[in-house]
Chain A
């Protein structure tokens, strides 16, 4: 049973078959969806944001560290690892969805978790999808920074691990862009969440799967309206991050008052 306001928007959009009207209808429908504060629609938007935000937190946590380490580490086979990483940037979301589906299916290695067609499954799929994006972009940023001035931190006695953390911290504003890219990749994908979430209304339906569903039902204005709202949400987040960045950059942003126990001087360090 649809909520009345959601149904109104839906009814308005139906019957409008003329292609030229689709965009204007969509704009009106989008406006109607937003202003009606339809709880069902709000739940879909909220679920989309929650899934993608959780996936970004997980992927950024791992990707920042992994990317920073890959940025400063020099080891045999690094080129091959980077080639694989860059290839993973092009991972099709349906393939990720399929792999995660197989992992989470009853007979799969993670089947015991019982996550298939759940919120967690969608978070896992989006995390896998976003991790290479975060790792590759962070790796490039830190690698460039290390080549430019990493030697000066080596001179001060920072080993590769500490150097990666220092550069990560120093490049924090540049890395906000990575966060935006990661969130954009997560919230805009449809294939993976559709496969592992199942697009169950009120449970795993998110904005992109709603768009896919409405499109398949021929309700293009509503689908497009949802797309407009999706873009609006991302735009709003970008603006917030840009404001945050500008605000923080204006401050002197000193290091925290307390840093952890200093690193022991590495025995045999290259620099005395």
Chain B
């Protein structure tokens, strides 16, 4: 499998805080990579670095030329506009003419089951629906790589199931997923590979079966134990 994006000895600092420390990672096409770790371990920073939103203080970020990316944030921001226009704006910003963008946006909303909500003010939608609008906004860009920062952390079980199902469908269609999660059940269901981070350092990088079944470094094992309790 070809590598779509990679980090080579990347460190990121926020002032004096070292958010990522000497991380090396490669993501291959079609992979479903889960980032796990406690709060503040560097998962979000790693995603933002992969997406080009954060400049590393050291190391190199390599993105495959032409590999389109989109990112879904933990709490996606909706503009004071209809769901349709929220999706269309993303397309317009990437260079699609506005009228075409609206047609494509409606298709994307259909894809996530929200076509009937297209005309509603996105801010008036539920958290789960807003997350699906954000997924539609990301999916509409036809990304090869979709980065998701704790995409279901603030959702109720039903909405969580909907979003997970969409993620699985996107992955099934060949999209590469890189997501962070505290939900180990979700990681088991969706990921093909798991990376464990602690204090900005990459501690374990294993196939999902090995992560949950095999021997782990002590820190990762205790995290897993704690999470499963």
Contact = CB atoms under 8 A, between A and B. Distances in A.
A270 B81 contact: no
A246 B90 CA distance: 28
Interface string A170-201: 10110000000000000000000000000000
Given A252-B120, A255-B81, A262 B52 contact: no
A173 B123 CA distance: 14
Given A155-B53, A155-B71, A261-B97, A254 B90 contact: no
B96 A271 contact: no
A77 interface: no
B88 interface: yes
A89 B53 CA distance: 34
A1 interface: no
B56 to A, nearest CB: 12
Interface stretch (B61-69, B151-159, B201-209): B61-69
B89 A166 contact: yes
Interface stretch (A16-24, A39-47, A156-164): A156-164
B7 to A, nearest CB: 15
B76 A152 contact: yes
Contacts of B17: none
A265 interface: yes
Interface string A238-272: 00000000000000111100110111110000111
Interface in B65-108: 67-71, 73, 76-77, 79-82, 84-85, 88-90, 92-99, 101
A92 B98 CA distance: 46
> Which residue among A162, A253, A262 has the maximum number of chain B CB atoms within 10 Å of its CB?
A262
A162 B81 CA distance: 17
Given A162-B93, A262-B93, A272-B67, A155 B121 contact: no
Contacts of A258: 98-99
B119 interface: yes
B119 A254 contact: yes
Given A152-B73, A255-B88, A258-B99, A272 B93 contact: no
Determine the interface band of chain A, counting residues with CB < 8 A from chain B. Answer: 20 to 34
Contacts of B79: 166, 169-170
Contacts of B73: 151-152, 155
A252 B81 CA distance: 6
B142 interface: no
Contacts of A156: 89-90, 93-94, 137
B77 A252 contact: no
Nearest to B144: A272
B93 A158 contact: yes
B51 interface: yes
Given A156-B93, A262-B98, A254 B85 contact: yes
B51 A262 contact: no
Given A152-B73, A155-B51, A166-B79, A262 B63 contact: no
Interface in A205-246: none
Contacts of A271: 51-53, 69
For the complex of A and B, the 6 pairs showing the least CB-CB separation, nearest first, are A149-B77, A259-B98, A255-B85, A252-B121, A254-B82, A270-B52
18 contacts: A151-B53, A152-B77, A153-B93, A155-B53, A155-B71, A155-B73, A156-B94, A170-B81, A252-B81, A253-B121, A254-B119, A255-B81, A255-B88, A255-B89, A263-B95, A264-B95, A271-B69, A272-B68
Interface of B: 48, 51-53, 63, 67-71, 73, 76-77, 79-82, 84-85, 88-90, 92-99, 101, 119-121, 137
